[in-house]
C-alpha cells in the first residue's frame, strides 16, 4: 500500500495540470482525542511521503471530532495558522484535518484540553498530555504544539478550489450542523503549467 501511495503522489506532483494534492484515509496521523489520539504507524509510513511530495491537505477520519493542525513538516509545526490564515504548502508544509465529526458517539479531547475555534479562541493551544500509538501497539506520551483548532460537535468541510493563471487557491471551510462557519483556511500554490 505504501508503495502505491508513493507512486501516486510522485505521479500527481510531477503533473503540471495538478495544483493541489489532497489525501484521505481513516486512521489519524495527527490527533489529540482521549481514546485514540495519533496513529504512529500511519505517521511513520506516510507523513515523510507527504513532506517529500508536498501534499497540501490530509483528511483523516476515525476520531469523532473536528481537529485541524498548523502546517507540519518533518513532524513539527512550521508556523501558526489561525482561523482565516493563508497557507503556502510548498513552503509551509501539510495541514492535517480530522473530520470524523459526523459520527457518534462524540469523542473527548485529552483531559484538561480545551476546544478552540472561532468564537472560542484560546491563545495557547499546546497539549502537554497527548500520545501516539506506536507501530507495535504501545501508547507513547507526546506533547503537542501542532493542534490549532478543536471542535467536539457535528461538523463538516466545504472545499472550494479556484484554479488560477499564476496562483491557484483552495479554501477549506468548517461548518457546524446548522451551516455556521467556525474555521477557514486558504491554501495557495503557484501554478507550474
pLDDT per residue as tens digits for the range 5-20: 999 999 999 999 999 9
Task: Between 118 and 45, name the one with better pLDDT.
Answer: 45
**Rounded-to-integer distance, Cα 45 and Cα 135, Å:** 10
CA 145 centroid distance within chain: 13
Q: What is the pLDDT of residues 53-86, one digit of tens each?
A: 999 999 998 877 889 999 999 999 999 999 999 9
Whether residue 91 is predicted with pLDDT greater than 80 in this model: the reply is: yes
**Rounded-to-integer distance, Cα 58 and Cα 27, Å:** 11
Read off the pLDDT of each residue in 131-143 and give the average, rounded to a whole number: 89
Cell numbers 451551516: residue: 179
Q: Poorest-confidence range of 48-57, 60-69, 91-100?
A: 60-69
The alpha-helical segments, DSSP class H, found in 24-135 are 40-52, 89-92
User: What's the confidence (pLDDT) of residue 115?
Assistant: 75
Whether residue 106 is predicted with pLDDT greater than 80 in this model: the reply is: no
- Contacts of 126 by beta carbon, 8 Å cutoff, 6+ apart: 143, 144, 145
Residue 161 pLDDT grade (very low, low, confident, very high; cuts 50, 70, 90): very high
Domain ranges of the chain: 2-154
Whether residue 121 is predicted with pLDDT greater than 90 in this model: the reply is: no
Per the CB < 8 A criterion, the answer to whether 57 and 20 are in contact is yes
User: What's the confidence (pLDDT) of residue 100?
Assistant: 74
CA distances from 49 to 7, 19, 43 (A): 10, 17, 10
Amino acid at each position: 500500500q505504501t508503495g502505491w501511495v508513493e507512486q501516486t503522489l510522485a505521479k500527481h506532483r510531477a503533473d503540471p495540470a495538478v495544483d493541489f494534492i489532497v489525501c484521505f484515509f481513516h486512521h489519524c496521523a495527527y490527533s489529540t482525542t482521549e481514546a485514540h489520539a495519533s496513529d504512529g504507524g500511519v505517521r511513520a509510513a506516510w507523513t515523510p511521503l507527504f513532506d517529500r511530495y508536498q501534499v497540501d491537505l490530509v483528511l483523516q477520519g476515525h476520531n469523532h471530532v473536528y481537529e485541524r493542525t498548523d502546517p507540519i513538516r518533518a513532524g513539527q509545526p512550521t508556523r501558526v495558522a489561525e482561523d482565516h490564515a493563508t497557507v503556502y504548502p510548498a513552503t509551509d508544509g501539510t495541514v492535517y484535518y480530522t473530520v470524523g465529526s459526523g459520527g457518534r458517539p462524540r469523542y473527548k479531547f485529552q483531559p484538561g484540553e480545551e476546544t478552540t475555534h472561532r468564537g472560542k479562541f484560546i491563545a495557547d493551544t499546546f497539549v502537554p498530555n497527548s500520545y501516539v500509538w506506536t507501530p507495535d501497539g504501545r501508547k507513547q506520551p507526546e506533547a503537542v504544539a501542532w493542534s490549532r483548532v478543536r471542535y467536539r460537535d457535528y461538523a463538516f468541510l466545504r472545499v472550494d478550489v479556484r484554479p488560477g493563471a499564476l496562483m491557484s487557491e483552495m479554501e477549506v471551510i468548517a461548518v457546524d450542523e446548522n451551516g455556521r462557519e467556525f474555521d477557514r483556511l486558504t491554501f495557495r500554490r503557484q501554478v507550474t503549467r
